[in-house]
Chain A
Amino acid sequence: MLNFEIVTRTDFSDVTYLLEIRHPLMAKAARPGQFVIVMEHEHGERIPLTIADFDRDKGTVTLVIQAVGKTTREMQQNCQVGTHLHAMVGPMGVPSHIGQARKVVCVGGGLGVAPIFPQARAYKESGAYVIGVLGFRNKSLMFWDDKFRACCDELIVCTDDGSAGIQGLVTEGIRQAIARHPDIDEVVAIGPPIMMKGCAEATRAHGIKTMVSLNPVMVDGTGMCGGCRVKIGEQIKFACVDGPDFDGHQVDFDDLMARLGRYKPTEKAALESWKESCRIRGGAGH
């Protein structure tokens, strides 16, 4: 039986946290680029999270989560070592294609740094020359740079304010990498849609193949609702079963970003109502 026990928790910052969850079968099956859907409790919603790492020996799967709304904040508060998730299903999506590329740039922006890690490692294991480009708003939000150093031939850390690495967006890191290495075969980018759009634009003129991992709204994650549909060229694809990886030069990012905004008002209402209930419960306790 599956029980989804949380065996490790690490806080990277006051908004970013890591959960390592026991699920031996999934640890065995998971491949880079795949994701899970979790429900924290019975009244919860189903949220997609990319698999940031997996340990087949320990039988665990690692998720890195940013507290942005009701569910992720509530999980930040409640998901402690020894507690259990109500549901976790996966691995979902088509695994990233680790092809024959000999020189690869792996770009992670913010929380996207976590899911790009298994890909960087897989490329390294396939014998490619791997350049990591990690972007954070500032040094205090930085995490896993040591993990990347261990599997990358070069690592470029970018911060918006220059408090670590070079100052600038990840696109600046990509520009520097391309300037140094004219023979880059492929760029893989994971992060906020606006960042992935920027990466796709940065490589388009150079004709470098660029794969991105899309993050639309999802419900079931198994291809039965189409909530995650995205425009790829002229076609409609479901990110949960046809993706989540797509050719960045084909993706309609504006459409993706507009669709991501659909539930903003209800998301805000959910967060407000939760904060209110926390305040009342917290107050009663004192």
Chain B
Amino acid sequence: MKLAYWMYAGPAHIGTLRVASSFRNVHAIMHAPLGDDYFNVMRSTSERERDFTPVTASVVDRHVLARGSQEKVINNISRKDEEQHPDLIVLTPTCTSSILQEDLQNFVDRASLSSESDVILADVNYHRVNELQAADRTLEQIIRFHLDRARKRSTLDRSVTIVPSANIIGIFTLGFHNQHDCRELKRLPGESGISVNQVIPEGGYLKYLKDLPRAWFNIVPYREVGLMAATFLEREYGMPYISITPMGISNTADFIGQIEKLVNVWAFALSDKRLNYKLYIDNQTKFVSQAAWFSKSIDCQNLAGKEAVVFGDATHAASITKILVKEMGIRVSCSGTYCKHDAERFSEQVQGLCDKVIVTEDHTEVGDTIARIEPSAIFGTQMERHIGKRIDIPCGVISSPVHIQNSPLGYRPFLGYEGTNQIADLIYNSFNLGMEDHLSDVFGGHDTKEVSNKSLSTDRKDINWTPEAESELNKIPGFVRGRARKNTEVFAKQNDISKITIDVTYAAKEKSSL
């Protein structure tokens, strides 16, 4: 058992439901006790969804516990089939069904005999995978199911489109700024004559899935969801894919470079026109995106060398780290992710960009790390925003888990050239503005608040400060006060002093470089 107060990634079934409800006319039936259908609440509120979430529960109650589900699941499937005629019904196991170990596959087999809809069992194991891995798996499963069947029925059209085209894989509900990113992603290749074949799963119809292989290549914008589907399509249908996330100027340029390469392989055979995006990238970087100019402008000088901590899912944390370090000259003291299953690749990506890499699902570990480092700004999830609030450090939210604030109505992509503008704004606004910072240095700070305990862990032994020493400490400007306190305490500990008096603070000050 594990004591937990908060979690970054949800349970597996949430991932399956996110994928299933993103497709059109797909219905998910959860095998779960009453009250476990809170996914509907999340989707309806956080996404401000207008339509009923196509998820119902086949309720597990005492009777099910005693006698097994028997006909209940099958009846619920057939009922949904009659009521709403979905193209596909996804039976979704939860932790409860994984403990009960009922033969859900058997229910699916029996139900699919009588129902007009296709029925599948989401192949996810509650104990082995989290929300993101389950989403990845379910997406692959649905695609595989439809393509295999199309192949058997020989309805598969394997001729590639005449103009270069791409599938965008992995845009779905409750994703961090996914809708905006999708619009930007369609525009990015679109401007250079590449059309979008399909976007899945968001808003996609299953009947068109058989046309997926007609695209020239696949785009997987986020590492967490879509890679399995892309590798499946590569293996079975020889479709290359791009897994570079076009976030930030250099990543976007790399992304377009990849497109150029992939398209030119085919272009050579299909038409004699070869694509060259060099000019396009140059123009976009210099003039469409303001980010390059922004980091050159004098305003950004104030940010140089400031410290930041980054934490989030693997895609966003890695990209933001790269942007901060390479594009804005900010020092990243620590960069981390909660995607443990992707730890190796993450470390590789941020290698050399930050002082320290953390991979953890424990938010107190992240909090303690931040408190220890005391950066000027944090870029993290909603949780880090709250940590920041507590220890008075500004935070920009760059990754899910999401909150309703992260479903803005206005256009806020993180990807592509418009995304670079949005990110530059976010980063700039997250640091205390330069002049304000400078003035408070000069005047010794205008905050008279007492420094609160900045440690988040509970097992920390307290060192006593005498009131005089405390008031002396408060004369130190706010932005270095925390550090001064820490240095003094470290000094006290080294010298076995349990009570800090004014003398001790001075002694400590002499010893340290402060």
Is the pairing of A and B real? no
- Interface set of A (CB-CB < 8 Å, partner B): none
